């Protein structure tokens, strides 16, 4: 059975992937990148690779959490719709 919620999340349902474009999102991205750069420059030699691995793992963790939250949120919405049409 196809998993349409996961396909929707992964962008396989729509023609293009859209990232948030709000000023707040852009500001937070710029802030995170500036802080990452500062921290990276202050690390002793040899620690940058470990720091990169850590940030990659945290990105993957956040992406996995966001995907799960999206799927669960849509599922709750669908349950509410189903209940509204079948009391």
What is the pLDDT confidence band of residue 15, given thresholds at 50, 70 and 90?
very low
Q: What average pLDDT does this structure show over 27-46? A: 91
pLDDT over 90 (residue 32): yes
Q: How many CA atoms within 13 Å lie on the side-chain side of 44?
A: 0
Alpha carbons 42 and 51: distance in angstroms, whole number: 11
Task: Give the per-residue pLDDT at 2.
Answer: 64
Q: Is the pTM of this model over 0.75?
A: no
Q: Enumerate the domain spans of the chain.
A: 4-85
CB 39 within 8 A of CB 58: no
Q: What average pLDDT does this structure show over 28-40? A: 92
Render pLDDT for 56-82 as a digit per residue (tens, 0 to 9). 999 999 889 988 888 888 888 888 888
């Amino acid at each position: 059975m196809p998993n349409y919620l996961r396909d929707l999340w992964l962008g396989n349902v729509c023609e293009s992937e859209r990232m948030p474009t709000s000023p707040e999102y852009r500001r937070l991205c710029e802030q995170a990148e500036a802080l990452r750069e500062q921290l990276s420059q202050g690390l002793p030699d040899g620690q940058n690779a470990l720091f990169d691995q850590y940030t990659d793992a945290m990105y993957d963790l956040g992406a996995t959490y966001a995907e799960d939250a999206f799927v669960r949120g849509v599922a709750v919405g669908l349950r509410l719709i189903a209940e509204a049409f079948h009391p």
